[in-house]
Amino acid sequence: MGFLEKAKKSQWYGVGLLLVITVLCWAVFKVLCPDTFGAPDQLLTYLQTGIIYAVGGCGLYFIVVMGLWDFSIGSVLVLACLLSIGFAQMFGYPGLIIAPIVAGALMGVANGAAYIKLRIPSLIVTVGLSLIYESFSVFASDWAGTRLPDAYKMFGSYPWNLIVALAAFGLCAFILKYTKLGTYVNAIGANELTAKNMGVNVDKYKFFAFVLCSMFVGIMAILYIGYGTAQTPMTGMLSQSLNFKPLMGTFFALAFRKYGHPVVSVVIGEFIIAMMFAGFVALGMPVTVNNIITGATLLIIVCITTKRIKGAVVK
């Protein structure tokens, strides 16, 4: 067996490949704009941006790996941020931390329960519920305001943002590796009927996956509000735009799924995306062009790494 074939069999091949892509991406932008991109302190900034979305991406992985969707995460994020602002003013840091996590988990309970009980597609359930959460965000902003007081911005900067994110990544990796739920979400995604035949309570684990997803978005809210320090309520499906950055990290994890280490893939994936955004800004490109190129890059990476079978139905 040749070196490359041996390497491909390694569990770390996927991570290695992602790191190579990271370095290539960095090198390209560094050559194009050597003075305004890619210095060590700037790389740390990209990483700090990327890890915020990576936390949400980790939560979303539980859902997407089962072949389901959660399009409510943007609205969950907005509401969790606003509740975090409100409870921080009442209870200080404990309120800032606990409120979004609990609120996220409760919205996850609502998502999961609605999906299981109504028996309609997860995409429709979560889009429908996101409209409700968006409305709640208006009430929450009326109550709490939209700005995080200066005294509670600790989680917006290094090292506390990194500590919270690492704790979230550790928790996600732990659940995936050391709990039945971690195995079962993969099993349900691979073949729900077979998983059922093996005694897996599919509904129960789908429900828990929804709870976990929104809970991770709650953790993301701690970092998000700390970084941005203000959050306005969003209505009329505006929150949908917040779904996509975490989702991109999840796509990376899915594309590299067979190599294991989905959490590492989410984090590196989000870092690549953050770096690309910064690179295009350094090149002076408008945001629209950034989005086109970033979207195209994501598609290319997923196409390269995913084995597509001719004739297979892809949904």
Partner 1 sequence: MGNKLLLHAEKIDKRFGPTHAVKEVSLDFYEGEIHALIGENGSGKSTFTNMLTGILPIGSGTFTLSGEQVAPKNQVDANHHGIAIVVQETGTLSGLTVAENMFLGDEDQFIKNGLKDTRAMNKKAQELLDAYGLSYIKATSAVDMYNFEDRKLVEIVRSTYFDPKILVVDETTTALSQSGRDKLFEVMRDVRAKGHCVIFISHDMAEVMDMSDRISILRDGDFITTVDVSEVDEDKLKTLMVGREMGDHYYRTDYPDYANEPAGDVAVCMENVSVPGELDEVSLTLHRGEILGIGGLSECGMHEVGKAIFGASYDRTGTVKLGDGTEINDINTAIDHSIAYASKDRDHESLLINDTIEDNITLPSMRDMGTVLSDKKLHDFAQKYAEIMSTKMVGVNQYVSALSGGNKQKVVLARWLGKQSDILVLDSPTRGIDIKVKAAIYALMEDMRKQGKAILIISEEIMELIGMCDRILVMKDGKVNGELLRSPELCEQDLIAKMV
Positions that interact with partner 1 (CB under 8 A) = 9, 11, 65, 177-180, 182-183, 186-187, 189-191, 194-200, 257-260, 310-311
Nearer to partner 1, 147 or 258 (CB): 258
Number of Cβ atoms within 10 Å of the Cβ of 93: 14
Q: Least distance (Å) from partner 1 to the CB of residue 262?
A: 9
Nearer to partner 1, 65 or 242 (CB): 65
State the minimum distance, in angstroms, from the CB of residue 266 to partner 1. 15
Contact 51, 161 (CB under 8 A): yes
Task: Compute the distance between CA of residue 286 and CA of residue 289 in angstroms, rounded to an integer.
Answer: 6
Closer CB to partner 1, 158 or 178, in the complex: 178
Per DSSP, 309 falls in state P
**Of residues 46 and 205, the one with the C-beta less far from partner 1:** 205
Closest CA to 207 of 110, 135, 288: 110
- Smallest distance from partner 1 to CB 50, Å: 24
Among the listed residues 2, 85, 7, 70, the one whose alpha carbon sits nearest the alpha carbon of residue 216: 70
Residue among 38 and 262 whose Cβ is closer to partner 1: 262
Amino acid identity for residue 254 in this structure: L
Tell me the HSE value of 109 on the side-chain side, using a 13 A CA sphere.
6
Minimum Å distance from CB 175 to partner 1? 10
Closest separation in Å from C-beta 196 to partner 1: 7
233 and 86 Cβ atoms separated by less than 8 Å: no
DSSP 37: S
Bridge partners (DSSP) listed for residue 230: 147
Q: Is the CB of 127 or the CB of 254 nearer to partner 1?
A: 254
Ordered alpha helix ranges (H), 119-201: 122-144, 160-178, 180-190, 192-197
* Among 80, 269, 123, CA closest to 210: 123
